[in-house]
Every structure is written in C-alpha cells, then in structure tokens.
Chains A and B, each alone.
Chain A
Amino acid sequence: MAPLDSETQQTVSAVVDRLKDKPGALLPILHGIQDALGYIPPAAVPAIAEGLNLSRADVHGVISFYHYFRDTKPGRHTVHLCRAEACQSMNQKATEAHAKQKLGVEFHGTTANGAFTLEPVYCLGNCAASPAVMVDGELYGRVTPERLDAILADWGKR
C-alpha cells in the first residue's frame, strides 16, 4: 500500500474534517474524497477511520460494498455503459462489444493511454432513449456503435 503524498493527505483530512460531524458521515466523506481524487486510496482508510472513530475494517467494508466507490485511480474520463434490460432491448450488446473492442479493455479496465475507464452501470434512467451511456456525468441516449465513436472522439480531446 503506497503511502499518501502530503498533498493527498491534506485533501483527505480536509474532507474528513469538513464532514465528520454530520450524522451518518461515512458516505458523504467517501464521495467527497472520490470527487476530489477520482478514487479512494487504500492509504486514506486509516485517516477516515480515525476521524469517524470506526475500525479500518468498517471503512474498508463500506468502500467495497458500493459499486461506485473505487480504490484505484481511474482514467481521465469514466464511461458508464448501461447494461440493464431497456438498453438490452435496443441492442446494447453491440454498443458494449464495440466499446470493449475500441478501447481495448473489459469492464473496470482503463485504456493503455489512461484516457478512459469503462464501467458497467445498471440503469441511467434514460430508458426511453436506449442504449444509454454516461461520460463523467454527461448523459447520452440512443448510443449506437457509430455514435459511441463520436462521443469517445469528443471526450478524447478533453
């Protein structure tokens, strides 16, 4: 486990200090850290545990329970590709296969150039415009393989 550099340490401490007195503060803190760093470094767990008077196992257990929280650094952009039924009914499988082939990764993988991480998601609430994809919080509908190419080309430049 790599120790945190002092800047990251400060970021983590600032988030913990700001939110630790909220009732049920752990999820807000984990979101705060992931928003700031893109992930929750395993080396941040002791500081979170100490701030909330929890065991490290408690904190690790919560991080690992939720699909959204990650303990490794993601690519520059995260592509969430919906796998749920409505998208499947509109040939989501073709978009998924194309995404994996184009990016050269499986789900949870990050491209070799560090530009994209591909994640599955189970419903983005865009079921009347399936298949749906979200890139860094921006939603796209009716994402055919061709449209996915255009979206990735656009985000690749950012």
Chain B
Amino acid sequence: MSVTIFVPRDAAALSLGAEDVAKAIAAEAKARKVDVTIVRNGTRGMVWLEPLVEVATNKGRVGYGPVQASDVRSLFDADFDKGGTHPLALGLVEEIPYFKSQQRLTFARVGVTDPISLEDYLAHDGYGGLMRALGLAPADIIKEVTDSGLRGRGGAAFPTGIKWKTVADAPADQKYVTCNADEGDSGTFADRMLMEGDPFCLIEGMTIAALAVGATQGYIYLRCEYPHAHRALNAAIEAAYAEHYLGDNIRGTGKRFDLEVRLGAGAYICGEETSMLESLEGKRGEIRPRPPLPAVKGLFGQPTIVNNVMSLASVPVILQKGGEFYKNFGVGRSRGTLTIQLGGNIKRGGLIEKAFGVTLREILYEYGGGSATGRPIRAVQVGGPLGAYLPESQFDTPLDYEAFANINALLGHGGIVAFDDTVDMAQMARYAMEFCAIESCGKCTPCRIGSTRGVEVMDRVIAGQNREFHLTLIEELCDTMLNGSLCGLGGLTPYPVSSALKHFPEDFRR
C-alpha cells in the first residue's frame, strides 16, 4: 500500500530546501522500491521546523524536521515511512504544543491539505460556507458577518459587516469585491501562507462577499513579490471555474461571480485601499482623498468591497458555523482569532492563530522561545513598518486592538518582529523615515517631504550635531506628519520613530 508523505510547497519551506527534500524522497523511494505518494501541502506555520516532512500513519501524521535532502537516506533507514524513530522525529504533528495550543479557524486547512486540489478542499469542509450562503438572502449573509464581530484584519479593524452593508445598500449596476493581498508589512506573511496553503478559502470568502452585496466581478490585488501565491491562486481559480464554483452559474443557482488575480508592482503604498484601487485601474498608486468611501465609490467609480485576505478568508468558517460560533473567541471588541506572525530575531518563528487576548510575552517566550541569537529581546515592532517599537516593560500587553491603541501602538496585520540587544534604535528610527521616503506616493507634502527631512534630521542626531535641537525638531516633524498626512503611510511613520525615542532614548544620545 502506498504511503502518503507530505512535503510543503509553501515558499518559506521551499526557501529552506523543501524542493530538494521532495526530490530526494522520490528518488530514494524509487531506489528502495517503496511505494510513496508525495503530497505538496502548505505549511503548518512552524517555520523553524521547515522543511517539515509528515508521514500519514494509522495514529495520525508523524512529523520529521527540519529535514534536509542529505537526511533522507537515514530517514528511510529508520523506516520513517512507517513513523519510525529518528533524531529528527517530532511525533504527531498535531500534538506539538506550539501547534496544539492554537485555535485554527481561518488556517484550519493550511498545512493539512493539498492546496490546489478542489477535491481535498471539499473533503475538509471546504465550500460549506458558500453552500449555506447560496440558500440565504444577502441581508442574512451580512447579518452573520456582522454578528461574528469580524473586524478588518488588514490593520484598520473596521467592522466587516458594516462595510458590506454599505456596499449592499449602494445602488449600482456594477459592484466589485476586491481583495487586498498587497501584504507589504515587514514581519507579516499570513496572507501569503493562506494564499499558498489554502487558496480556495480566499476564493470562497470572496464569492460569499459577492453574493452578499450583489457584486459580479472580483479582483485579488496580489503583490508581485509573491510568485508562489500567484501560481497557487491561478490554479485554484481555474479549478473553481471548472466545477462551477466561479463563473456565470455558480453551482447551478444562476448566480454569477468572476474572479481574477492582478499583480502589483512593488509599491508599498498600494496596500492602502484607495491606492490599490488606483493601481487596479491601471494608474499610479496615489491615494484618493476620502470621502467618498470605496464602499460607495470605489473601483471604476462603483461600490466596492475592499477587504484584506485574512478578513475574507475568515468568512467561510463564519458562514459555515455561524457568527455566534466565531464571536465566542476573543476579548472585548476584538472577536474571533488573530493570526500572529512571529519573525525576526526569534528562535521559533512562524504563524500562530489564537483568540485575541494572548499577551506579547506569551508569544515571544512560550511560543517563540526567546531570541534566535540567545541574547535578551530588547525591542519588538508590532504591526509592520508603521507599528510602534515596544520595550520589555510593555510585553504584558494583550494582543487586542484596544489594548494596543491604549499604549499608542498598532496591532496592524498581526506581524511581530523581535530584536535582540544589539539593535540600534536610532538606526531603526532613521530606517522608518527612509522607508517612508522610498515608498511615499508623493501626493501629500507631510509624507513626501517630511520623510526625506526626517532622514536628514536623524542623520544629524546620529552624528551628534546640535543633538537636542534636532531631537526637538524630529518630534515636531512627527507631529506634522501624524496630523497632516492624507493616509496611514505618512500618518503612522511617526509611530516607530516616536516610540523608539520614547522607550529607547539612550540610543539617540550615544
């Protein structure tokens, strides 16, 4: 009987050698005349164990990792295809505490299934949400999403149900559902993992959104830095069309939804929703003043849903199990689960899906195991390049939108980047300004000019020229950018700068 062996196709696993491992397993199995079926799954999110090879046994899936191609011979010698013991053996993958303690709702299938097999998707509860939605009135679909308490996972945390209702109520002949997959924040990779590991889940979420608001065309705006996700999405879209989960007669109901992936071109600003719409229209990704809201006047001037990948990928489980089910996870006004991405200088980096409310300290030490270098963690940046730097004294902050707002920080897209005590926070503050200067769309002055002046002033601070004067100047500049910028890029760049100044003043006075 054939043994099923899983070797991830996720880009992070590939970046650590998974392709060579898959080839080595195939070759060694052939040489030994062992009948194996190799499934290229997504990643479980335990990136420090990648490439993580799993073997299906009658007790469950047994893991081995991190595996290199050179380990494959010894794995066969140890009968790993029957779950045998080996120095790299990890036991049952779903019993590994890092994984077992998570609450996987959005990522329930990621790492488990073959991402581009519709059959596998259906066998693992896939399209359960859509099938239910097809029997509901649009208003009832929106009610489920509103009841779930889901808030936009891109960072702004706007209630998804309310956004959908605005689009549904806007009269128009043509409406759009767009997915913002321009995941440009450093330290974030949840969107990528989902799109590579379970692309049908995003497609299903978008289809439900389309039914809810009466849209017939959807676009996934994907950053071009994600070629693996691009291939996975296109393969899944093709399979969905073939089985009438997309197209002009969805599952025989006469409902229509067409979906296409559009590639960005390396502009961070296109993760801002109005810039993304400009870019989808084929223009420079310069932001639009709001109002009008995209929900009223969005893509090509029509009512448009713009949601992040995580928001849309959370919709299938909400429709399948109900808004109340989803709402039972989380704390306060932050309902459901957050997909935390732990990266940077950390021993056990990866993706952790947990109900809101877990503390930063638990994530950094219980999951992350401290820094990769073994030195003390001195600072963490949460929420991408526009997120605040937090010192150790704030590590007990629970991960929920309001708790972070209370300490002048952002949860953003849930990315956490750890730094050890060798970090120079003045350099990080300078980099925040530099990044803003590189990525500014140029539309408003505080962002376009302020960021360039910010780099210059930081250089003078670092060089020790008239330091106290320039430190005052940088604070004033931050105030101008914060209050005068048109969008979050210029408006939030002061967060990393001011927080570095506040919590790590010694680095600015060396």
Contact = CB atoms under 8 A, between A and B. Distances in A.
A112 interface: no
B16 A142 contact: yes
A52 B281 CA distance: 12
B41 interface: no
Contact of A127 (B16, B265, B341): B341
Interface stretch (B86-94, B224-232, B246-254): B224-232
A31 interface: yes
A121 interface: yes
Interface residues on B, range: 35 or more
B280 interface: yes
Interface stretch (B72-80, B136-144, B183-191, B450-458): B183-191
Given A62-B283, A85-B417, A137-B227, A125 B183 contact: yes
Interface stretch (B7-15, B118-126, B470-478): B7-15
B20 to A, nearest CB: 11
Nearest to B16: A141
Interface residues of A, number: 42
A139 B186 contact: no
A70 to B, nearest CB: 10
Given A24-B281, A122-B268, A126-B189, A85 B11 contact: no
Interface in A69-108: 69, 80, 84-90
Nearest to A93: B427
Contacts of B417: 85-86, 89, 127
Interface in B27-85: 47-48, 50
Nearest to A65: B284
B116 interface: no
B184 A139 contact: no
B263 A27 contact: yes
B187 A129 contact: no
Contacts of A23: 281, 300
14 contacts: A24-B262, A24-B280, A28-B262, A31-B263, A31-B265, A52-B282, A66-B265, A85-B381, A123-B188, A125-B189, A128-B189, A129-B16, A139-B11, A139-B15
Interface in A103-148: 121-130, 132, 134, 137-142
A65 B278 CA distance: 12
A28 B401 CA distance: 36
Given A27-B265, A89-B345, 20 more contacts: A23-B300, A31-B263, A65-B284, A68-B224, A68-B264, A69-B266, A122-B186, A123-B184, A125-B11, A125-B225, A126-B12, A126-B15, A127-B189, A127-B343, A127-B349, A128-B342, A128-B343, A129-B50, A130-B344, A141-B12
